[in-house]
Structure 1
């Protein structure tokens, strides 16, 4: 199972699925209010960790309004080729279609980070591949967190001391991107109703 199994379900629920960059987003509920968020991140996960857990989602957990997905960075850092990463992303979307048909997925770009500068080239290739891939999937959307993390083309002060994970400022940038993209993806009436419900 994915971690963070909802104990209660809301009509205004978002699932955040992915690796440690999701897992460590401790201010997620605050940053994304009034949405109800479920942090389903797995520390240090690669797609081979996430896929079998996603495959075991219990339908009783309910359907989120959207899934925000952050995957691939650890895979790239571990030497997995971009082609393999994208094949596994495709398998994840196949699982979504089978288990949660119609639930939109917002896939975030691989973030640049000072601690992984040596992988920036592969991350760029993955982001281009993701942009080209998602239009061929149903209810699949791209969220660019790469550009707003750069200041004059350079990495800003958005990182924890490990040089890889986001600090509070970095996560606020993520939240702004997610909110803006959800505004493009979800029906305005739904967004208005969820804002009023809280």
Structure 2
């Protein structure tokens, strides 16, 4: 009996250590800690995805007529959001879910079609829990530091836009086109020094485009 207890103790410790090694473990744990202190209200608008949402820390001030829950985390790609859906999507019973993710997938070697397939997988997964909650997918943005991926981004955005037209209660929102100068170059003054994440000016552009689509 004592031997069995030691084995169970070892297995528990091993599983805990493996969980802590998982990508973005600390970010997800922090969300759960926040929820334990004050759980977000139901029927809010849930933002999920990568660091473009993570860095939008004052997103609530951009949308004062809506209650926003922001669960963007780290440099996540679509498989991470899919993996953590039970932690960052399913608990909240939102009235709408807004997704920004896919940009980091390209840096991991994904093709445009792989990104499209992953977006569909995420949508299908959300639908198992929330079959009627409206979903919004924000187009993959043209970051100056990732200009070499732009052809794949354009293709992915195009196919995702076409795909969502065929899906009920799923909307594609094009923020991509508004991020260029008249000469066709990417606006650099809407980005931080890393040329990857947006500053307040960039988020202001997004706010104007996104607002009409929020419930």
TM over 0.5: yes
Structure-2 residue corresponding to 1:68: 98
RMSD: 1.9
CA gap of 1:58–1:80, structure 2 versus 1, over 3 A, is: closer
| 1:114 equivalent in alignment to 2:144 | yes
Deviations 1:45-92 (A, max 9, x none): 011111011145675x34212111011100012211111111111111
Q: State which of 119, 131, 136 in structure 1 corresponds to 2:161.
A: 131
Measured after TM superposition, the shift of residue 128 of structure 1 is 0.7
- 2:40 & 2:135 partners in 1: Cα distance? 21
| 1:181 equivalent in alignment to 2:213 | yes
The TM-score with structure 2 as length reference comes to: 0.78
* Secondary structure of 1:159's aligned partner: coil
Structure-2 residue corresponding to 1:14: 45
| 1:26 equivalent in alignment to 2:61 | no
Q: Which blocks of at least 5 consecutive residues in structure 2 are unaligned?
A: 1-24
- 2:40 & 2:143 partners in 1: Cα distance? 35
- 2:181 & 2:101 partners in 1: Cα distance? 24
The aligned length equals 181
Q: Which blocks of at least 5 consecutive residues in structure 1 are unaligned?
A: 187-198
- 1:134 & 1:56 partners in 2: Cα distance? 25
* Secondary structure of 1:129's aligned partner: helix
Structure-1 residue corresponding to 2:200: 168
Contact 2:48–2:88 at 8 Å: present in 1 too?
Answer: no
Measured after TM superposition, the shift of residue 138 of structure 1 is 2.2
Measured after TM superposition, the shift of residue 175 of structure 1 is 1.4
| 1:38 equivalent in alignment to 2:69 | yes
Larger radius of gyration: 2
Structure-2 residue corresponding to 1:94: 124
| 1:148 equivalent in alignment to 2:148 | no
- 1:163 & 1:177 partners in 2: Cα distance? 21
